[in-house]
Structure 1
């Protein structure tokens, strides 16, 4: 049951990020770095849904929910990176990547593997930090429910 929740919310994260970035590209806003931070809220939403579902199902173990939220984020980030690789190749490969990386802080010499690897590790770190932060909230909610 729990793994289905993690997978379902990981796919929600993937779809949310995919739609968000496709919309940004369609509207010509893909070069606006400050808008990219909004994808963190999509990841946090998916992680929160997993932890909330676990909590409602009676799973209140801190570490178990932390790992469950983290796995949800990793699934979403992994699927998002795979989608990004496909999207970059559809839009023109390395030439499109040069336009993307010029608006980010990756430096001059980029390739698709380097670019996506950096984004993947950044996504993993964000998922861990987001899971931990959300668990601080849910820990207090669960303690108040027991009192």
Structure 2
């Protein structure tokens, strides 16, 4: 059975983000917040890959490609947040998240679920933005009427 391209590319986004953050942690660069923002490139990669696959299959409908692109990015973000949730509890739970929030935008002392929910909303917002940007980039390839 062949998995849908949205699930496959979403999983590639998750792998890219996961490996990137683990590598930053190993290299001791996880405290640099601006390096954390570069994970958006993995979302761009996955969404672009889905859209290219749709074009190769002859799917040029604007709306179905927009839904496919947003599905890809939401799957990738959801897997990433779930991975962060598991990783955070494996590293010490709230104590680990407290070290992350020092260099991130959270004030106070967020719990693991609060941290993950906030990142989920941020990721969903970035998914919409990436999808819109990619749809603008590929605009001349799709039928809008």
Question: Is TM > 0.5 for Structure 1 vs Structure 2?
Answer: yes
Alignment of 1:1-147 (within 5 A): 4-140=4-140, 142=141
CA drift of 1:3 comes to 6.5
- Give a deviation string over 1:86-129, Cα, whole Å, max 9, x none: 11111111111100011101101311111100100111111111
CA drift of 1:23 comes to 0.3
> Is the CA contact 1:47–1:72 (under 8 Å) kept in the aligned structure 2?
yes
Q: How far apart, CA to CA, are the structure 1 residues paired with 2:124 and 2:2? A: 20
Runs of 5+ consecutive residues of structure 1 not aligned to the other structure: none
Moved over 2 A (4+): none
Q: How far apart, CA to CA, are the structure 2 residues paired with 1:14 and 1:127? A: 13
CA drift of 1:63 comes to 1.0
> Is the CA contact 2:101–2:109 (under 8 Å) kept in the aligned structure 1?
no
Query: Which structure has the highest helix share of the two?
Result: 1
* Shift in alpha-carbon separation, 1:44–1:63, aligned structure 2, 3 A: same
* Shift in alpha-carbon separation, 1:93–1:119, aligned structure 2, 3 A: same
Runs of 5+ consecutive residues of structure 2 not aligned to the other structure: none
